[in-house]
Amino acid sequence: MSDLYWPGDERAGSLMSDLALLQAMEAVESAWLAALVEAGLAPASARHPVRGLVGADDLDALARGAESGGNPVIGLVRLLRDRLGPGEAARWLHRGLTSQDVLDTALVLTLRDVLDELDRQLDAQTQVLLALVQAHRNTAMVGRTLTQHAVPTTFGLKAATWLTGVLDGADLVSSARARLAVQLGGAVGTLAAATELARLQGADDPATTAWRLVTITGGALELAGLAPWHTSRAPITAVGDALVSCTDAWGHLAADVATLARPEIGELAEGRGGGSSTMPGKRNPVLSVLIRRAALAGPPLAATLHLAAATTVNERPDGAWHAEWAALRDLGRRTVVAGSQTSDLLADLRVDPARMRATLDSATGTAAEQQSMADLVGGQPGDSYRGVTHLIVDAVLDRARTSRTKPPSEETR
């Protein structure tokens, strides 16, 4: 999926789409139905894969139906039962679940895909940045503070700060990923219906049997089993904060590129650059612009997730939960798109060391601080003034190599 405003590559675009969510909801129903059978609560004849029964053509009808029920799950269950046809599978589908179980767990599945994709993007960006830092470890440029020339720095150090941001984002993505778990609790988060079924079917310890449904379902979906978190939304806000931390890092990087790509500065350029509808020959730093857009638009969406968490009430709130969906979806998809654009930007970034050198040489006042140090102790200014840049660069390179090294099997997934 893509839209006119937030296009992206094909892979990025399909994540968090309506269709992806629909398929995830179907997968949750399927895994739960299988768990009911596996735990001995539903008869073996209820075992039936629930896959491919609904698709893109059903989205409009489900969407319209979602208004009357408040969410799309009621309509989906009806549709799935209808398409499963008469029999035990249709009878047992969704038994013990509530709408929020299905929607929350399906959202988690789509978020997992988003976080996994981000993890790959951040890995790739780390590799490119490692090379960039090493290549420009000694590329001198003027440092700029509050828009004005300050003292010298190196482009290697600048790239190292970008890399630090990417690694910070990756850490949060990993943490949020590790917290993802099924959210399955039935009507009010007690698994009462599932427990009652277990009792009715003669289980020795009905509660433990009901709990097994959660772990079995989690296993099938490759998610952790966890106590219901229907009213404790920290797993959701952690994802939102991680996503925004990625766009923070990329936004910083893109702001640097857009600024240094100004024709009067000209120290960086995007490899291709975008054209104009009326000015032939104009080359715009389009990727930087689009990344900055995502960085500006993201934080308010993450704030919506926190507001939703903070206004949760009772065993399911009257609006707060519903406000999460679109914020998560938009944030997820846009972050992946911005990540893809950042990878493209880095892969094709043009660095102009000669221009950097020229700016530095012609800048006025950049030696004043150095002179004031010499004055302080009565010595002569030294030849260079790069301070500990190489130590910082080494520390960042070490961190990057340590934290993002994956065993080969991981690399090839």
Catalytic residues: 276, 316
* Contact region with a copy of itself (CB under 8 A), list: 49-57, 115-123, 127-135, 159-167: 159-167
Contact flag: residue 244 with a copy of itself (CB under 8 A): yes
Query: Of 84, 105, 211, 349, which one interacts with a copy of itself (CB under 8 A)?
Result: 211
Question: Of the two residues 128 and 194, which places its CB atom closer to a copy of itself in the complex?
Answer: 194
Which of the stretches 113-121, 129-137, 227-235, 401-409 binds a copy of itself when contact is defined by CB under 8 A?
227-235
Looking at residues 113 to 132 of the shown chain, list those that interact with a copy of itself (rule: CB under 8 A): none
Does position 170 bind a copy of itself by CB under 8 A? Answer: no
User: Which residue lies nearer to a copy of itself by CB, 345 or 408?
Assistant: 345
- Kindly write down the DSSP assignment for every residue of 187-228, as one continuous string: TTTS-HHHHHHHHHTT-SSHHHHHHHHHHHHHHHHT-B----
CA distance 268 to 355: 9
Give the interface size with a copy of itself as a residue count (CB under 8 A): 176
What is the closest distance, in whole angstroms, from the C-beta atom of residue 116 to a copy of itself in the complex? Answer: 21
Q: Which of 25, 335, 16 minimizes the C-alpha distance to 183?
A: 25
Among 44, 85, 147, 409, binds a copy of itself (CB under 8 A): 147
Closer CB to a copy of itself, residue 200 or residue 347? 200
CB 153 within 8 Å of CB 386? yes
Q: Does 412 bind a copy of itself (CB under 8 A)?
A: no
299 lines the binding site for a copy of itself (CB under 8 A): yes
Residue 22 C-beta: closest distance to a copy of itself, Å: 7
In sequence order, the β-bridge partners of residue 152 are 142
Residue 146 has a CB neighbour count (10 Å cut-off) of 5
Part in contact with a copy of itself (CB under 8 A); list of ranges 48-56, 93-101, 113-121, 405-413: 93-101
Encoding tokens for residue 18? 């309506």
207 touches a copy of itself by CB under 8 A: yes
Residue 49 or 274: the one with the smaller Cβ distance to a copy of itself is 274
For residue 404, give the DSSP letter. Answer: T
DSSP 284: B
Residue length, the chain? 413
256 binds a copy of itself (CB under 8 A): yes
Which of 313/411 has CB closer to a copy of itself?
313
Where in 18-57 is the site for a copy of itself (CB under 8 A)? 18, 21-22
Subset of residues 356 to 385 that bind a copy of itself, contact rule: CB under 8 A: 359, 363-365, 368-370, 372-374, 376-377, 379, 381-382, 385
Angle, CA 65 vertex, CA 61 and CA 69 arms, to 5°: 160
- With b for 16 or more beta-carbon neighbours within 10 A and e for fewer, the 353-392 pattern comes to bebbeebbeebeebeeeeeeeeeeeeeeeeeeeeeebeeb
For a copy of itself, the binding residues in 72-91 under the rule CB under 8 A are 72-74, 77, 91
d(CA 358, CA 352) in angstroms, rounded, equals 10
Cβ distance to a copy of itself smaller for residue 120 or 272: 272
For residue 306, state whether it binds a copy of itself (rule: CB under 8 A). yes
Query: Which 310-329 positions form the footprint of a copy of itself (CB under 8 A)?
Result: 310-320, 322-323, 325-327, 329
Tell me which residue has tokens 């997934």.
Answer: 413
Residue 236's contacts (CB-CB under 8 Å, 6 or more residues apart) are 305, 308, 309, 324, 328
Amino acid in the structure at residue 334:
R
Contact with a copy of itself (CB under 8 A) among 127, 134, 138, 232: 232
Structure tokens belonging to residue 246: 């990625």
Q: How many CB atoms lie within 10 A of CB 113?
A: 17
